[in-house]
Amino acid sequence: MMNNNNPFLESKLNRRNFISNSGRLATGGALAGVALPVVHGQGSDTTKIALVGCGGRGTGAASNALSVSAANGPVKLVAMADVFQSKMDQSYNGLVNKHKDKVDVPEDRRFIGFDGYEKAMDALDPGDVVIFTSPCAFRWVHYQYAIKRGLNVFMEKPVTPDGYSSRKMLELNEEAKKVNLKVGVGLMCRHSQARLELKSRIEEGELGEILSMRAYRMQAPIASCFSDKKPAGERELSYQIKRFHSFLWLSGGSFSDFFIHNIDECCWMKGMWPVKCQAQGGRHYRGDKIDQNFDNYTVEYTFPDETKLYFHGRNMTGCHQEFSSHAHGTKGYALISGPGGHRSQARIHKGQGYDSDLAWMFGQTNGSGRPARETNPYQDEWERLMDAIKNDKSHNEVERGVQASVVTSMGRMAAHLGTEVTYDQMLNSSHIFAPGVENLTLASEPPLLANADGLYPVPEPGKKKQEY
């Protein structure tokens, strides 16, 4: 068990009682005057959308929103916000080129700066939709304002990078549920046609009892997970936000931002969340890179029934690459994901591997030939969110989004500390990655600073009592 004398770990909340205790966490007057329950934007059949965070994922999410079926439309993008003009311009131009008639964002509704999220949401009516695709360090701050404005939300994963922000999100979400807000979380694998059918078959007993699981995300360095030293003359905060995958306070690093998909879908198929984990990892061919990530991670998660999920993650060039998740049961083996990435090739085999007889494959009706391709899960998650908004169906994915983020973070923390970490310890960690994040401006110093050599603190397992 983890040393309970560790000064930044407490044990006050657990998976069963966090809701009952969440009201004890102070919100001040931030939610005073929250709108009455709403379903849809007022005065029009058109759902207005605002985009907060105009990077690649934000642009993609906005495009998915503007591509929803006629049954769940019409929709229109009316406001955008980012801290960088270049990101704003690139996103706007791309969306206009693809969705000209559905984009109505004049220059006076394109907001630059840390307060842009408020201005973008102020352009909406209660019941409209705001997209949060900025780094997850800002998620609870933005969510708090959306609830105050009575807005439905789509937010990207991870939802949180640490215990403090996880507790904040759970607390805020109780307020969101009181006013009937619909909230989607970008764990799109849960909306995959193939995985949904596989989940149903597992629940019906076709795999038997799941005895073990394993998952792999092996890839070359992706996005901004590796970074060179800050260029001379660039503001420290701007540099870190541009390279947010390199910094734990902003994103949880490459582990949280990318590995969460495999970890979440395995827990979903298992039907439970791990209670503890142990892990290891390291930094290898670093050169002059200054990010806070390890190059490779191996995690052993333990579920309440003592079965295991083994996760292997790597960001290194010249190595084997793989995106896949697997389940081994008493009646056979299931491929959950892979090898094609987020679009699944889900199947069940009668033995314990690929070479055993096939029992079922998604999209295959006659037991032979090439299976049908599933629809795009990125689009499917938007169809379900907009259907819930249009038809007032229950739809709030925040709690499971936070749970997935906590489970992912506990694996990362276990590797970075070199010790066992429990779910409850991760949720209740008193170490705050980004104190005062709600007060940051473009002129602020970030919560993390480089030393005189331009280097940032990195995890040192067995030596440091915090991740950095």
- Kindly report, residue by residue over 77-130, the tens digit of the pLDDT: 999 999 999 999 999 999 999 999 999 999 999 999 999 999 999 999 999 999
Beta bridge partners of 422: 276
Tens digit of each residue's pLDDT (9 = 90 or more) over 418-443? 999 999 999 999 999 999 999 999 89
Q: What is the DSSP letter of 396?
A: B
Q: Find the DSSP H helices in 67-113.
A: 85-98
CA distance 460 to 282: 9
Q: Domains plus CATH for the chain?
A: 18-189+382-396 (3.40.50.720), 193-375+408-417 (3.30.360.10)
Sign (positive or negative) of CA dihedral 412, 154, 432, 456:
positive
CA distance 414 to 5: 16
Q: Is 70 exposed, middle or buried (0-12, 13-18, 19+ CB in 10 A)?
A: exposed
What SS3 class is residue 57? helix
- Residue 79 near residue 118 (C-beta atoms within 8 A): no
CA distance 424 to 9: 9
Tens digit of each residue's pLDDT (9 = 90 or more) over 353-400? 989 999 999 987 666 666 678 899 999 999 999 999 999 999 999 999
Give the DSSP H or E segment for 321: none
- Residue 364 near residue 372 (C-beta atoms within 8 A): yes
CA distance 383 to 347: 25
First to last CA, the chain: 21
CA distance 460 to 334: 37
pLDDT along the chain (468 residues), means of 10: 34 40 42 52 81 98 98 96 98 98 98 97 98 98 98 98 98 98 97 96 98 96 94 96 98 97 98 98 88 97 98 95 96 89 82 94 73 88 98 98 98 98 97 96 94 95 94
